[in-house]
Amino acid sequence: MIFKTAKIVAFRTWGLLLTILGMGLMVLGTAGIVFWGQAGKIVAGIGLVVGLIAMMGSLGIYFWAGMLSTSVKQIECPECHKPTKMLGKTDRCMFCRTMLTTDLRQATITDDELEESQKLETQATPSSPAQPR
Ligand SMILES: [Zn+2]
């Protein structure tokens, strides 16, 4: 995991970034007309279209995150005792970013050990010899 944060928070962050990016592109595109005149209109057109798509995308992500946050389990974090929302089998607390899991096999190990075991799993699976069933 690149961002050590709750999944819903990560979705919202991406939505916000895309909105800013889309608005920036639309503003830059419009500014192109002022600076380059006739040639700038092409730049403005591209900027407006790409900016609009980015903003539509961010709207979709926002909407999706909103839908997800209404359907996910709300639990009390065992670390900071605040109500947090959990997405999937493992997720981080929205407040203290502790790893939470409903998977019993992962419940007794620490954050670093979890990442280590996930690394080992992905490395071992393709090359491991056939195991007796
Ligand atoms: Zn917490």
Task: Report pLDDT digits (tens) over 30-45.
Answer: 777 777 777 777 878 8
Contact at 8 Å (CB) between 58 and 15? yes
Report residue 86 as tokens: 């959990």
How does pLDDT run across 37-82, given as a tens digit for each residue?
Answer: 777 778 788 888 888 888 888 888 878 877 777 777 788 888 888 8
Domain-wise residue ranges, the chain? 1-71, 73-122
Angle at 76 between CA 12 and CA 94, to 5 degrees: 25
Q: How far is the CA of 31 from the centre of ligand 1 (A)?
A: 45
Q: How far is the CA of 36 from the centre of ligand 1 (A)?
A: 53
Cα-based distances in Å from 126 to 113, 117, 133? 21, 15, 17
pTM check: above 0.95: no
Strand positions, DSSP E, the chain: 73-76, 83-86, 90-92, 99-101
Contact at 8 Å (CB) between 51 and 29? yes
Residue 129: pLDDT band by 50, 70, 90 thresholds?
low
Q: Report every protein residue that has its C-beta within 5 angstroms of ion ligand 1.
A: 77, 79-80, 93, 95-96
Separation between Cα atoms, residue 87 and residue 8, nearest integer Å: 8
Element (H, E) at 8: helix 7-36
39: buried, middle or exposed (CB in 10 Å: 19+, 13-18, 0-12)? exposed
